[in-house]
Chains A and B, each alone.
Chain A
Amino acid sequence: MGSLFTTMVSTAGAMRSLQRSLSVVQNNIVNASTVGYARQEGSLIANPFNPNSNSTSGGVASGPISSSRDAFVEASVWKTQHRAGFANSLSTKLTEIERTFPLTAGSGISGEIDKFFSTVSQWSVSPNNPVARRQVLDRAGSLAQSFNQAALDLGDAAGRAGAEISASVRKINRLTAEIASLNRQSRESLANSTDAGLDSTLHAKLEELAQYVDFTALSQEDGSVSIFIGGQTAAVIGDHQWPISVANTSGGYQIIDSDGGDITSRIDEGKLGALLQFRNTLLPNYQGRLNTLAQGFADNVNGVLNGGLDLNGAPPAKNLFAYNAGIGAAATLAITDITGAELAAAAPGDPGGNSNALDLADLQSAGIFSGLTSAQFYSELTSDIGDRLNTEIANRGLQRQLLLQAQNVRAELSGVDINVEATKLLQLQKGFQAAGQVMSVINSLTETLLGMLN
């Protein structure tokens, strides 16, 4: 039978174990709303108990504290974060430029093209009217300005996207530096490697990083996490960080790893992936098509006018439109210093006539862009932007739902449920109260028995 000393030591040990269990659950409750926190589970281990031994035996000891974090579920949340970050960022950028290409009749470049041809038609009715000639020049100037404005808007969007790419890279580097620092703390001691607070801070950083770039995270035995951007480029291993950088080249923005290698193609998700696709692929495509429209329109108008005779019966010496293809036709499109009298309304052999003006008006319905009219070519460009925007908005909604679902699954597995904790509390209260009553009766009975024996 154990001695009184044995009982006291056993009881003291049990109280320490109890205190530790209480600390674990209290920590769960106060961290119920902490981002990245996973419910911790304390464990208790019964000590070997030999009632015939005089040595200290029996009682209970604290076992290891385990985390309810599920690596697969965490990876699932990160993956959804990558995709949600991509759809959210790309839809925002496309919304910015969609305003440049309005689909409303009579507005934007499409409206200016219609107005130009309408003015040309009026001019063909009275080809020698100086007011009508002046109006053609004015409309041509307005059309050139609308191309200039659209090109300027796209250029501004490119500039903003570039700045956001640089800001995203700085943010990614700051987060990976913080993760490397947390890894260092985790490696410092065994206690740190299992510390719930450190673990939740680390996972909050990983979740923030997941919004910016897709990565693979590998958990190590020492509690640290290695990060590989795009699944290949090491960004963090242990307490060492390899920062990435950004380079603005003629081919677009490039993401460079610490060895100087171009890793742009590996980044196709997250906010950074969306910005790179917008800045390097989508915007150049839209800018190129806008330039094609401006250049093709100007060349065809100039070509028709140069084939006729001006008010004086002479071939025109000047083009109506001028542009610099090297800089960009849309951005540089302008009317020359041509005068109204120098506009060629008449066809050769018919001075004073309107045949050339009618030919110019016919350009409105001519398939000068691989069979498409100017309006159709422009419409195709705007509908491509609109379609892509609608796709990304729908994708953004879907990814938000998927992210919510993944986060809910994680909360089910790793979160702290206050209702469950409250139910546990009520059960414990009733149990302790009932036990207290029984112990009170037992205590009285024991005293009675001792009295009877004496």
Chain B
Amino acid sequence: MQQPILPSLIATQSAFAQLAPQEALEHLEAALRTLQGLTASLHHGDRLAPADQRQLERSLLRFRTELRDAAILADQGLAYCQDWAQQLQPPASYQPNGVCADTTSDRHEFSVEA
């Protein structure tokens, strides 16, 4: 088995930072396919030379760090979306009974699972 090349997630981080999650998603899907291929290969019993195995391990650790940083940026982006939603939310609205009340709608709230 040849030494596999793991993708960098720097471009993913950059896409999150530029508020372009769709672009980040494309990078992540490419990375996912690479990891799935590598997993399938190892499951089939392919073996790496000891030096290549250590190199792959280091690459995976680096990849995991980049993934963690990308997740932090995604968290920031989501927090921004929530803040944005609050700005768009009218502070008060008229209820069906004609009473003006504070808006409590949660239509823009969502959770982060990354």
List the B side residues contacting A434 at CB < 8 Å: 21, 25
Known interface pairs A4-B62, A10-B10, A432-B74; A443-B113 also in contact (CB < 8 Å) = no
Task: Known A14-B14, A435-B21; judge A428-B81 contact (CB<8 A).
Answer: yes
Shortest Cβ distance from residue A41 to the other chain B in the assembled complex, whole angstroms:
13
Distance between Cα atoms of A433 and B108 in the complex (Å): 12
Per DSSP, chain B at the interface is helix
Range for the number of chain A residues in contact with chain B: 35 or more
Asked if A119 lies at the interface with its beta carbon under 8 angstroms from chain B, I say: no
Q: Does A190 contact B (CB under 8 A)?
A: no
Within 8 A of A (CB), among B26-63: 28-29, 31-32, 35-36, 38-39, 42, 53, 56-57, 60-63
B114 at the interface (CB under 8 A from A): yes
* Contact across chains for B56 and A453 when beta carbons are under 8 A apart: yes
Q: With A22-B80, A421-B84 in contact, do A60 and B18 touch (Cβ < 8 Å)? A: yes
- In the complex, what distance in Å separates the CA atom of A442 from the CA atom of B32? 6
Query: Contact: A8 with B69, CB < 8 Å?
Result: yes
Which residues of B lie under 8 Å from residue A14 when comparing CB positions? 13-14, 16-17, 73
Are B113 and A440 touching (Cβ within 8 A)?
yes
Query: Assuming the A-B contacts A8-B69, A432-B21, are A425 and B28 also in contact, with contact meaning beta carbons closer than 8 angstroms in the complex?
Result: no
Interface hit among A44-52, A281-289, A338-346: A44-52
- The yes or no answer to A452 lying at the interface (CB within 8 A) is yes
Stretch of A24-32, A64-72, A124-132 that contacts chain B: A24-32
Q: Which of A1-23 contact B (CB under 8 A)?
A: 1-2, 4, 7-8, 10-11, 14-15, 17-19, 21-22
Contacting residue for B13 out of A11, A428, A441, A452, CB 8 A: A11
Q: Is B83 an interface residue (CB 8 A)?
A: yes
Q: What are the residues of chain B within 8 A of A2 when measuring CB–CB?
A: 10
Q: How far is the CA of A439 from the CA of B31 in the complex (A)?
A: 10
In angstroms, how far is the closest chain A Cβ from the Cβ of B32?
Answer: 5
User: Given A15-B76, A452-B39, 14 other A-B contacts at CB below 8 A?
Assistant: A11-B72, A14-B73, A17-B17, A22-B83, A29-B84, A59-B17, A418-B88, A425-B81, A438-B29, A442-B28, A442-B35, A443-B114, A445-B35, A453-B42
